């Protein structure tokens, strides 16, 4: 179920991040918004209609706000998983925040490679974004298969290890003038990102069931609220960290697109979109194996 969810979510990200910016630049934001509205509203109502006969809990939880969140926070394995997912998200968000700068300063189209025409038409940033998301879409079925064979947690660890390997490989290739080779690497990076995108969301519902079995309370909304809160905090903090890292080595602000940057600033940008996120992912792997896995075993025993 999560594989289907994330596959279609990635398609939505591709449309929203690659198609609508082009529409907005050509026909204006108001017209593009009118086109986007049905794509937002209709799937919501379609989801409601498609699940109208799904099994549901007819008796709502009678716990108050404080008691409801107390039930969630007493689920130690879930709290640890939220923290681990937040660390993973911090790494991915650091890459995302640095990608626009990397497209300007580290990926320079020489004009003579296979995808140079696409890079010229879409811009390097849009091409890298599109190839990354395409890789993520293609990988969803793969990670469902791997999870079924290895188990969810081992599959997630494998995906993060491959993600680290891709980031190290990108570090060795950047800066680059071969936009085609870098786009290929971004497809592979998107495929490894599929594990991060899919598997944690398939792990935490198992832990929600533990609380319901132990207490009889259905507080899935509170679980989702805390899960999403951790994700949003990581997404918000990452640009702040990137800005602080670049500012510390003299990054020059500009509204003109590209300006000459100190060598130390370009080096820091290089590290910030490759090796620093790889190190953060390494920490998340250690936390998953050494802290989360024992707690998960106790919870699901």
Residues 96 and 166 in one domain: yes
Residues 45 and 79 in one domain: no
Residue 235, domain member (yes or no)? yes
Concatenating the DSSP letter of every residue in 117-165 gives HHHHHH-HHHHHHHHHHHHHHHHHHHHHHHHHHH-HHHHHHHHHHHHHH
User: Model-level pTM?
Assistant: 0.89
Residues 38 and 151 in one domain: no
Angle at 199 between CA 57 and CA 70, to 5 degrees: 50
The number of folded domains in the chain is: 2
Cα separation of 280 and 10, whole Å?
A: 24
Residues 11 and 135 in one domain: no
Query: Could you read off the pLDDT of 25-47 as tens digits, one per residue?
Result: 778 889 888 988 998 899 899 98
Q: Which domain holds residue 11?
A: 1-50
Residue 57, domain member (yes or no)? no
Weakly modelled stretches of the chain, pLDDT under 50: none
Query: Could you read off the pLDDT of 166-178 as tens digits, one per residue?
Result: 999 999 999 988 8
Backbone angles phi, psi at 35, to 5 degrees: -70, -35
Residue 204, domain member (yes or no)? yes
Residues 44 and 75 in one domain: no
Instruction: Enter the tokens of residue 164.
Output: 């680290």
What is the DSSP-derived secondary structure letter of residue 107?
B
């Amino acid at each position: 179920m999560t594989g289907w969810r994330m596959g279609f979510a990635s398609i939505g990200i591709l449309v929203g991040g690659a198609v609508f910016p082009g529409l907005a630049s050509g026909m204006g934001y108001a017209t593009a918004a009118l086109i986007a509205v049905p794509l937002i509203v209709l799937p919501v109502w379609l989801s409601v209609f498609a699940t109208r006969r799904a099994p549901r809990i007819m008796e709502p939880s009678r716990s108050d706000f404080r008691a409801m969140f107390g039930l969630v926070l007493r689920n130690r394995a879930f709290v640890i998983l939220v923290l681990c997912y937040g660390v993973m998200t911090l790494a991915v968000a650091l890459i995302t925040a640095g990608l626009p700068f990397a497209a300007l300063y580290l990926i320079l189209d020489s004009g003579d490679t296979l995808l140079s025409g696409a890079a010229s038409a879409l811009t390097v940033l849009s091409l890298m974004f599109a190839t990354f998301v395409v890789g993520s879409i293609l990988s969803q079925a793969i990670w469902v298969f791997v999870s079924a064979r290895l188990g969810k947690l081992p599959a997630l660890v494998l995906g993060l290890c491959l993600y680290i390997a891709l980031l190290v490989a990108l570090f060795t290739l950047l800066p680059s003038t071969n936009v085609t080779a870098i786009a290929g690497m971004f497809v592979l990076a998107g495929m490894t990102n599929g594990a991060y995108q899919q598997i944690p969301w398939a792990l935490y519902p198992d832990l929600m069931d533990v609380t319901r079995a132990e207490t009889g309370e259905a507080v899935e909304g509170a679980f989702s609220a805390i899960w999403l809160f951790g994700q949003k905090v990581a997404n918000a903090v990452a640009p702040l960290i990137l800005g602080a890292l670049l500012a510390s080595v003299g990054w020059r602000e500009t509204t003109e697109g590209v300006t000459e940057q100190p060598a130390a600033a370009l080096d820091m940008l290089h590290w910030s979109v490759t090796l620093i996120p790889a190190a953060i992912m390494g920490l998340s792997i250690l936390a998953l194996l050494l802290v989360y896995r024992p707690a998960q075993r106790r919870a699901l025993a």
